[in-house]
Amino acid sequence: MKQLPEKIALDKAVHGQRSYQGSVEIQKMSRLLDVLSGFDGKADFSIQFDRAARLLGKARVNVKADLPLICSVTGKEFLFHVEIDSTIGFIDDLAYEEFIGDNMEASWVENGFVKPLEIIEDELILAVPDAPFDENFTKEVEQKAVFKTQQKPNPFDVLKSLK
C-alpha cells in the first residue's frame, strides 16, 4: 500500500494495478468545505486501480467519513455518516463515455494523470444530501411522544367504571 500522492500517472497505476489507502483530513478538500458546517475530521479511503475494456482504466473507490452538516429541520449540527463503495471509469474523450457501465461513474483524465484527493472529494460531495436531515432528531421526537403518552392517563378510563 502506498500513501496518497498529489497526482498519479493513470497508465502506470492501471497496468500495475496499484492500490492506495489511508486517511485524509477533511480540511484539505476545499470544494467539500463549502457544504460542511465544520472542518474537523478525516476520511478513510482506499483506491484500487485496474484494467478496463475500452477505457483508460477503472478504480474501485471506498470512502468512509463522518461529515459535519447542519440539519435542515432543526438547524443544529450533526455528523452525517458516509460509506461509499463505487467504481470509476476513466476517460479522456467523450466518445468513450458510452463504454461506461451502468454500475460505473465516469471520471475525466487530463494529460494522463488523475488526482486521487479530487476523486475522494468528488465521491464525498456526491454523498452529501441537498437537504441534510439528522435521523437522530426523528428518534428523539418519537421517544418523547411515547414518553408523553405513557405519562398521561387515558381519559376513557373513567368511562370503564360506568359500565
The C-alpha cell at 88 is 470509476
Domain boundaries, the chain: 8-133
pLDDT band at 150 (very low <50, low <70, confident <90, very high): low
What pLDDT, on the 0 to 100 scale, is given for residue 160? 72
Question: pTM of the entire structure?
Answer: 0.80
What pLDDT, on the 0 to 100 scale, is given for residue 111? 94
What pLDDT, on the 0 to 100 scale, is given for residue 102? 87
Which of 28, 17, 4 lies closest to 52 in space, CA to CA? 17
- 9 in Cβ contact with 116 (< 8 Å): no
Give the SS3 label for residue 145. helix
